[in-house]
Amino acid sequence: MSAMRLPEFPRATASNPRPAAPRLRALRVIALLTVVVLAASACNRLSFIRPNMERKGFKQTAVEYDVGDKRGRSGGEASALGRIQSAQSHLIAGDRDKARSEIKQALQFDPKSAEAYSLLAVMAEQDGNNTQAGAHYRKAAELAPDRGAALNNYGVWLCANNRASEAMSWFDKALTDPRYGTPAVALANSGACADKLGQGERADRDLRLALTLDPTNAMALSAMAKRQLRLGNAFEARAFSERRLAVEPITAEALMTASQIEQKLGDTAAAARYVQRMRAEFPDAQGSGTGDGGR
């Protein structure tokens, strides 16, 4: 299916969670993995949520599955989902050994569980094992070739690990899933990745489509601001940057981009204010030295 048909997809809604505030250290684990259970009447939905995945300019999305609907599901698959649900709870509680034990049991019940491999990928990233994380993301995508979130997440890993040309086809596949609830996320990732490859026409197309579907998509706004600045369109870059700064949560990168735009426009005072704000709100972030004389 061509990406040009994407306006037919539903607009991303509040079901797409917002990232946790970076400074809330008590939520560090939840920022990597949050379990959201929606116990609304007859249906329970469990999601792998990656709220703080705005890493390297990309964003991963939830991999959802029903834990209440047993139709068309074998006993092994249902048992595996129960173990995965338990594993996520243990992981959030900080008991990684128990979480791994539960995932191992889940794979014994269902060796083809894409959800289990998605959770293993999350844990591998937490452990700093990037190569293993990529292998797990790929396995999850291969086991769920029609699930947009799993396909998008593997594309994110590829593009964030200098394999942008490989990532594009996975974003394309993600966008053919009519049940994918957040196509604007995959479009923003696709546009940012295309920009990284120097595919300007596709970058503009996908980023603008993302913003058509979700005008407050932080990833697309950030990517457009940086792209327009790089192209020398500082006023247009400022417009996208201001829209990005109106969307929570604010990031150090967004503030630095705003500073660089103001520096380009010659407003050194505004540039300095953005850098000062960045350093006040994100003291661990590394500044570029622009906007305040490098102090």
Percent of the chain whose predicted confidence (pLDDT) is above 70: 72
Inform me whether the pLDDT recorded for 12 exceeds 90.
Answer: no
CA 178 – CA 206 distance, rounded (Å):
17
Amino acid, single-letter form, for residue 85: Q
Question: With a threshold of 0.85, does the pTM exceed it?
Answer: no
Q: How far apart are CA 85 and CA 101, in angstroms?
A: 12
Q: How does pLDDT run across 185-234, given as a tens digit for each residue?
A: 999 999 999 999 999 999 999 999 999 999 999 999 999 999 999 999 99
Q: What are phi and psi of 37, to 5 degrees?
A: -110, 120
Beta carbons of 155 and 177 less than 8 angstroms apart: no
With vertex at residue 197, the alpha carbon angle to CA 195 and CA 201, rounded to the nearest 5 degrees, is: 50
Higher per-residue pLDDT: 226 or 61: 226
The H or E element containing residue 164 is: helix 164-174
Tokens 């086809």: give the residue.
169
Question: Per the structure block, which two tokens stand in for 42?
Answer: 């007859």
DSSP state of 38: E
Residue 26 CB-density burial (10 A; 0-12 exposed, 13-18 middle, 19+ buried): exposed
What per-residue confidence (pLDDT) applies to 73? 54
- Residue 249: exposure state from Cβ atoms within 10 A (0-12, 13-18, ≥19): middle
Residues 165-184 pLDDT 10s? 999 999 999 999 999 989 99
The topology (CATH level 3) of 3-214 is 1.25.40
Q: Could you give the CA distance from residue 258 to residue 261 in angstroms, rounded to a whole number?
A: 5
Specify the CATH number for 219-295; select among 1.25.40.10, 1.10.3720.10, 3.50.50.60, 3.90.1010.10. Answer: 1.25.40.10
Residues pairing with 38 in the sheet: 45
Average pLDDT over residues 266-295: 80
Q: Name the strand (E) or helix (H) holding 222.
A: helix 218-230
With a cut of 80, say whether residue 15 has pLDDT above it. Answer: no
Mean pLDDT over 134-143 rounds to: 96
Give the whole-angstrom CA distance, residue 87 versus residue 119.
9
Report helix angle 200-213 to 183-197, nearest 10: 160
DSSP-based three-state secondary structure for 48: strand
Average pLDDT, the chain: 79
The closest of 149, 22, 26, 157 to 92, measured between CA atoms, is 26
Contact present, 246 and 255 (Cβ < 8 Å): no
* Domain regions of the chain by residue span: 3-214, 219-295
CA–CA separation, 144 vs 200, rounded Å?
A: 30
* Tens digits of residue pLDDT in 143-156: 999 999 999 999 99
